Amino acid sequence: MSHHHPSEEMLLSYAAGSMSEPLALLVATHLALCPQCRHEVAAYEMLAGEELEDQSPALLSSDSLVRVLDRLDAPEAAAEAPQPPLAAQGDLRLPRPLRDYVAGSLDSLDWHQRGGIAEASLLPERDDFKTRLMRIRPKTAIPEHSHHGSEYTLVLTGGFSDHTGHFVRGDVAIADPAVQHRPIADAGEDCICLAVTDAPLRFTGPIARLLSPLLQR
Ligand SMILES: [Zn+2]
C-alpha cells in the first residue's frame, strides 16, 4: 500500500489528458500500484464526462480523455501481490505502463554507472525534462542536489529515505526546485526508481479548463 501519492493537481492534470508524456508515464505507473489514486482519477474522468455532455461536438470529439482511459485499461491487479525473488522477476519488476517503455529487460538498458548509482534514459531528453531509471545500491547516498524543474521519483524496488520521509514501491517523492535533498537508499536490495524532472505543471486544453476550478475549492 502506497503512502506517498502524486498531488491532487497531478491527478487532475492526468485525468484531463494535459500532462506531458514523462509525468503521465510516472502517474500511470503509480496508478498501476495504487487503487486509491485509480479511484480518484476515475472520479475526475466521470466528472469531466458529465460536464462535456453539454458541450459542443468539437469538444466531445477531443481524444484526450479517450487516451487517458486507454492508459487506464490495464491496471495491474497483481501489483499488490508479494514479490518473488528478484532473479525470478525479470521485467515484472516494472508495472505495465512502464514495461511498454522498456524494450527487452531492465538489464538491456544503456546504464551509466557512477559509484553506487546507475542511470538509464527512457525518453529523449527535452528542454524541460529528463526521464530516466535510476538503480541505487543499498545504503548509497545520492549526492545532495537541486534542480531546475520539479523532480518526481517513483520507487519500483527497494526504498529510500530523505528528510521528507521513507519511500517504498509505488511511492512518489516530489521535490520542488528550491529543495536541496540527499536521499539514501535502504539496506537490502537495489533501489530502482523512475525519475522525471519536469517544468511546473501547466493546465491547458478544454478538459483541463473544465477541471481546474476543482483545485480552487
Ligand atoms: Zn496513490
37-78 pLDDT, tens per residue?
999 999 988 887 777 666 555 444 445 555 555 655 544 444
Which residues, 6+ apart, have CB-to-CB distance to 141 below 8 Å? 182, 183, 184, 185
Q: Is the Cβ–Cβ distance between 16 and 66 less than 8 Å?
A: no
d(CA 156, CA 174) in angstroms, rounded, equals 15
Listed in sequence order, the residues at least 6 apart from 107 whose beta carbon sits closer than 8 Å to its beta carbon are: none
* pTM given for the model: 0.74
pLDDT, tens digit, for every residue of 117-151? 999 998 887 767 889 999 999 999 887 666 667 88
Q: May I ask the CATH class of domain 105-198? A: mainly beta
| Ligand 1 center–CA 2 separation, angstroms | 6
Specify whether the CB–CB gap between 139 and 187 falls below 8 A.
yes
Q: What is the pLDDT of residues 143-199, one digit of tens each?
A: 766 666 788 999 999 999 988 899 999 999 988 777 777 889 999 999 999 999 876
Q: Check if the beta carbon of residue 169 is closer than 8 Å to that of residue 153.
A: no
CA of 41 from ligand 1 middle (Å) equals 10
